[in-house]
Chains A and B, each alone.
Chain A
Amino acid sequence: MSNRDYWSELEPLLAQVEKPSRYIGGEYGSIHKDKVEVRICLSYPDLYELGASNLGLAILYGRLNELDYVAAERVYAPERDLEVLLREKEIPLLTLESRAPVNTMDLLGFTLQYELVYTNVLKVLDLSGIPLLAADRGEDDPIVIAGGPSAMNPEPVAEFFDLVFIGEAEDGVVSVADLLRKWKSDGKPGGRAAFLVEAAQIPGVYVPSLYVPKYGEDGAYRGVEALEGAPDTVLRQAVASLEGRKSQIPWIVPFVEAVHDRAVVELFRGCARGCRFCQAGIIYRPVRERPKKEVLEMVGESLAATGYGELSLASLCTSDYTEIREVLEGVRATAGNDLTLSLPSMRVDTFGIELAVLASPGKKGGLTLAPEAGSQRMRDIINKNVTEEDVLSAVQAAFESGWDRIKLYFMIGLPGETEEDVEAIVDLAQKILAVGKSIKGGNSGRLKIVVNVSTLVPKSHTPFQWAKQLAPEEVLEKQAMLKSRLRSRQIDFKWHEMAVSVLEGVMARADRRMSKAILAAYRKGCEFDAWSNRLNWDLWSESLSECGVDIDRMLGERDIGQPLPWDHISSGVTKEFLVSEWQRSKSGESTPDCRFDECSLCGVCQDLPLETRLASD
């Protein structure tokens, strides 16, 4: 190992890069430990200001640092300017806390929030001097683990990771850390290979090297074979209850302005609305609400601990929290009116607007609503359970309450979509503008409707996992139609770049052969693919074709009977349920919210030791 003091070499160079405070650590709330038995580095493989706002990683950082024998540290993906300097001076990537080379850690954990970070994972490994392929790693390299929503289909990145954690990891990471501690203190018996077999026994831990994928002569994926010592299926882990879990406090307060520069209190996990495109709606089931008393305690504690003047009450659908009104009143009573309160993901109805008014009694910035589809037929297909009347009465209430800028989220490429369904987005936007004009009268000049249209990317573990994704030219056609029809001074049309959705879609349902293409793309210089201005589609399509990845096939519809690359990863929701939802979507049948209606028998509460927990119970 080198005796160079890398930090002393690096620190003076930071004056030459943009936003150098991304790289210096020492933030208020960060945790520094000296003598520990297990050193873990957590990484969000994108720029610091994105990663610093991630709640999941913050929870794990807090949880691991509660253990006296563990030091959990952090590293993010450096911007290109620093990368050039690191390569030129031969300085490896350092952790923010101890400023030790990342490759001296025992465990390196990545959160995969979306597929488009995969090349950045390789960038972090590469700059750390860690072999990119798990098979090439030696006894002294860190064990590299992944988690997060995209890990639910771990196959496209299976060759890069020694371990993948499936589900909520706040208890599982402790088991992994315990095992590492024991294995190290025993003198690493059996080496790395033995450790991996032991780790495979921890519930939720998937060890890709213990599963061999099979392919047919026609190149079709034919499932995996689990080697000895590996379970046939890896079951998603989830905490039974949020009660008594406040582990993300203390919270790190970044020096750099983070994308979500505010305190966050998680209201609940899971969502039972059952939108058929939504992966989060499946992989965080069931709904588990934090008791109201603890929510309010955490609000007070997190504001006092961070000094933020803004707070977000986070969840998949914040207005669904059963005692949301009481929470909002409680927050105002504790924190006063100077606090800026943000409620992400509000439902589209007058109740949602009522809450938005409660959240920001004085100021009215922008309001965001997600009808997801323009026509009722499409909203039934995706099980949105929102009518046009709900949408129009919600915007009416919003305009009456003082908002004049409304942002709407829609998707194109939903299964069974016709031209009329896409045109219905235009019609709905115009109806909303008309409602605004009738309410604002002479003051309607300030009205602005922002129509934000993304493209459906079918995700693993959802009822739409079999669906066809729009081909590149179809995306462009539909976007062009919307562009030409949404020409109004008061309607802004924004769309997701075609290449971003296509690449995300190609990776989302890929099998293990995709690892080669990701590696090839990284070698050609692809990075920061989630940034539409940085995604290099030419290099990507070269890499895909060189590695034999057929884009049309990857975006195409799947047969219900064909093996899927993530079949050995179980979310707890049964395939029968997903098939039935896929079929019901085709006939436009809705499935009710199981919190208040009948159980939809998705399998989670039947097969996992979990049940819905509401704050009002």
Chain B
Amino acid sequence: MSSKYRVRYEKAPAIRMLAHLEVARVLERACRRSGLPVAMSQGFRPHQKITFATNLPVGVASEVEYADIALVGEMSTDSIRDRLVDALPEGMLVSAVAALPPGTAALQSQDISSTFQLYSAPEEAVQTLEGIQSADVIQIIRKKGTKDLESPGRFLKNIQAVSGGNNSASSASIQVELVTSATGGGLGIKDLLAVIREMPGGSGVWAKRVGLSILSNEGRKDPLDV
């Protein structure tokens, strides 16, 4: 009998240089250290049943990452949280856990809205981002080459300059909303950072995800509100 839980954790600025696979390994090992009875898959190399619902590029921090963990049997969400907090290294804190009712849709299969704060971005970055938002088509640079993205405004929503950001490393802080669809594609935070890095004074820009919600016909929903 296994039951699923959704865990919300942070990837603090101190460990923002971790790649997604590294973050995943940290959580997997923390689960083993914590002694939580994580359910195992079958097969040649059995692995823990943990689904990483969100992922971030190297260099991006977050207050709101999610993973779904299957446990053998049931446990209180408080005790899951406490055990994970004890087992995680500094910089990864589990802030909340919710039990998932059977049949809960995976986060990856839904449309998601993320709010990112950008630190150490030049002031002119707001105009640059607005330019992207209103463009008919933009070029995105990927490892395999460039590709054209039509109507980037579908993905890049509210752009705001935030004055007096509370992070000391910030000279200016901008907040943006990015929408990702379950079908993939679109515009990622990595693409925005790449553009700003090319601007004068933009080489030190970095980002942190500060909000994430599920978009549905009924409106926005917190991933833990299940």
Known A-B contacts A21-B19, A253-B29, A257-B25; A28 and B89 likewise in contact (beta carbons under 8 Å) = yes
- Check B33 against A21 for contact (C-beta < 8 Å): no
Q: Identify which of A220-228, A300-308, A574-582, A606-614 touches chain B.
A: A300-308
A370 cross-chain contacts in B, Cβ below 8 A? none
Please give me the residue from chain A that is nearest to B21 by CB atom. A257
- Check B18 against A306 for contact (C-beta < 8 Å): no
Near A by CB (< 8 A), chain B positions 9-38 give 14-15, 17-19, 21-22, 25-26, 28-33, 35
Please give me the residue from chain B that is nearest to A255 by CB atom. B22
User: Is A47 part of the contact surface with B, judged by Cβ < 8 Å?
Assistant: no
Instruction: Give min CB distance, A86 to chain B, whole Å.
Output: 16
- Which single member of B15, B45, B87 contacts A307 (CB below 8 Å)? B87
A307 to B203, CA, bound (A): 37
A422 to B14, CA, bound (A): 55
Please give me the residue from chain B that is nearest to A24 by CB atom. B17
Known A-B contacts A304-B33, A306-B33; A21 and B18 likewise in contact (beta carbons under 8 Å) = yes
- Check B90 against A26 for contact (C-beta < 8 Å): yes
User: Is B182 part of the contact surface with A, judged by Cβ < 8 Å?
Assistant: no
User: Is A20 part of the contact surface with B, judged by Cβ < 8 Å?
Assistant: yes
B30 cross-chain contacts in A, Cβ below 8 A? 28, 307
A19 cross-chain contacts in B, Cβ below 8 A? 19
Instruction: Give min CB distance, A286 to chain B, whole Å.
Output: 36
- Check A26 against B91 for contact (C-beta < 8 Å): yes
Please give me the residue from chain A that is nearest to B32 by CB atom. A307
Please, could you name 13 A-B residue pairs with CB atoms under 8 Å apart, sorted by A? A12-B120, A12-B169, A12-B203, A19-B19, A21-B18, A26-B15, A28-B30, A253-B89, A306-B29, A307-B28, A307-B87, A309-B47, A340-B45
User: Is B46 part of the contact surface with A, judged by Cβ < 8 Å?
Assistant: yes
Mask for A5-20, Cβ within 8 A of B = 1, else 0?
0001001101100011
Mask for B136-166, Cβ within 8 A of A = 1, else 0?
0000000000000000000000000000000
User: Is B73 part of the contact surface with A, judged by Cβ < 8 Å?
Assistant: no
Instruction: Give min CB distance, B156 to chain A, whole Å.
Output: 21
Instruction: Give min CB distance, B48 to chain A, whole Å.
Output: 8
A298 to B196, CA, bound (A): 50
User: Is A256 part of the contact surface with B, judged by Cβ < 8 Å?
Assistant: yes
Instruction: Give min CB distance, B173 to chain A, whole Å.
Output: 15
A253 to B48, CA, bound (A): 18
User: Is A338 part of the contact surface with B, judged by Cβ < 8 Å?
Assistant: yes
User: Is B58 part of the contact surface with A, judged by Cβ < 8 Å?
Assistant: yes
Contact size class for B? 20 to 34
A14 to B14, CA, bound (A): 12
Known A-B contacts A305-B33, A307-B31; A21 and B22 likewise in contact (beta carbons under 8 Å) = yes
Instruction: Give min CB distance, A302 to chain B, whole Å.
Output: 11
A253 to B59, CA, bound (A): 20
A23 to B18, CA, bound (A): 10
- Which single member of B14, B33, B45, B120 contacts A26 (CB below 8 Å)? B14
Interface centre among B19, B28, B48, B120 (most CB of A within 10 A): B19
- Which 4 A-B residue pairs are closest in the complex by CB-CB distance? A307-B29, A307-B32, A15-B59, A20-B17
- Check A309 against B32 for contact (C-beta < 8 Å): yes
Please give me the residue from chain A that is nearest to B27 by CB atom. A307
A27 to B91, CA, bound (A): 10
B58 cross-chain contacts in A, Cβ below 8 A? 15, 20-21
**16 additional contacts, CB 8 Å, given A26-B91, A304-B33, A305-B33?**
A14-B17, A15-B17, A15-B59, A21-B18, A21-B22, A24-B14, A28-B29, A28-B89, A256-B22, A306-B29, A307-B33, A308-B32, A309-B32, A338-B40, A362-B44, A363-B44
A15 to B46, CA, bound (A): 33
- Check A27 against B59 for contact (C-beta < 8 Å): no
B48 cross-chain contacts in A, Cβ below 8 A? 309
User: Is B201 part of the contact surface with A, judged by Cβ < 8 Å?
Assistant: no
A527 to B213, CA, bound (A): 49
Mask for A366-395, Cβ within 8 A of B = 1, else 0?
000000000000000000000000000000
A24 to B17, CA, bound (A): 8
Contact size class for A? 20 to 34
- Check A28 against B26 for contact (C-beta < 8 Å): yes
Instruction: Give min CB distance, A167 to chain B, whole Å.
Output: 34
A166 to B15, CA, bound (A): 38
User: Is B206 part of the contact surface with A, judged by Cβ < 8 Å?
Assistant: yes
Instruction: Give min CB distance, B102 to chain A, whole Å.
Output: 25
Near A by CB (< 8 A), chain B positions 198-218 give 203-204, 206
B47 cross-chain contacts in A, Cβ below 8 A? 309
Instruction: Give min CB distance, A252 to chain B, whole Å.
Output: 10
- Check A26 against B29 for contact (C-beta < 8 Å): no
A307 cross-chain contacts in B, Cβ below 8 A? 28-33, 87
Instruction: Give min CB distance, A19 to chain B, whole Å.
Output: 8
A328 to B204, CA, bound (A): 52
- Check B29 against A255 for contact (C-beta < 8 Å): no
B26 cross-chain contacts in A, Cβ below 8 A? 28, 255
Please give me the residue from chain A that is nearest to B35 by CB atom. A304
B28 cross-chain contacts in A, Cβ below 8 A? 307, 309
B17 cross-chain contacts in A, Cβ below 8 A? 11, 14-15, 20-21, 23-24
A255 cross-chain contacts in B, Cβ below 8 A? 15, 18, 22, 25-26
A350 to B206, CA, bound (A): 58
Instruction: Give min CB distance, A175 to chain B, whole Å.
Output: 33
A461 to B21, CA, bound (A): 44
Please give me the residue from chain A that is nearest to B57 by CB atom. A15
B14 cross-chain contacts in A, Cβ below 8 A? 24, 26
Please give me the residue from chain B that is nearest to A305 by CB atom. B33
Instruction: Give min CB distance, A335 to chain B, whole Å.
Output: 10
B90 cross-chain contacts in A, Cβ below 8 A? 26
A257 cross-chain contacts in B, Cβ below 8 A? 21-22, 25
Please give me the residue from chain B that is nearest to A303 by CB atom. B32
Please give me the residue from chain B that is nearest to A15 by CB atom. B59
Please give me the residue from chain A that is nearest to B29 by CB atom. A307
A255 to B16, CA, bound (A): 12
A253 cross-chain contacts in B, Cβ below 8 A? 29, 89
A306 to B21, CA, bound (A): 17
A28 to B46, CA, bound (A): 24
- Check B33 against A363 for contact (C-beta < 8 Å): no
Instruction: Give min CB distance, A129 to chain B, whole Å.
Output: 24
B206 cross-chain contacts in A, Cβ below 8 A? 12, 15
A15 cross-chain contacts in B, Cβ below 8 A? 17, 58-59, 206
Instruction: Give min CB distance, A81 to chain B, whole Å.
Output: 13
B40 cross-chain contacts in A, Cβ below 8 A? 338
Instruction: Give min CB distance, B185 to chain A, whole Å.
Output: 24
A306 cross-chain contacts in B, Cβ below 8 A? 29, 33
Instruction: Give min CB distance, B186 to chain A, whole Å.
Output: 22
Instruction: Give min CB distance, A593 to chain B, whole Å.
Output: 36
Instruction: Give min CB distance, B116 to chain A, whole Å.
Output: 15
- Check A363 against B22 for contact (C-beta < 8 Å): no
Mask for A300-322, Cβ within 8 A of B = 1, else 0?
00011111110000000000000
- Check A338 against B46 for contact (C-beta < 8 Å): yes
B45 cross-chain contacts in A, Cβ below 8 A? 340, 363
A14 cross-chain contacts in B, Cβ below 8 A? 17, 59
A8 to B120, CA, bound (A): 13
A255 to B17, CA, bound (A): 10
B31 cross-chain contacts in A, Cβ below 8 A? 307
Instruction: Give min CB distance, A29 to chain B, whole Å.
Output: 8
Near B by CB (< 8 A), chain A positions 475-499 give none
A11 to B119, CA, bound (A): 14
Please give me the residue from chain B that is nearest to A28 by CB atom. B89
Please give me the residue from chain A that is nearest to B34 by CB atom. A307
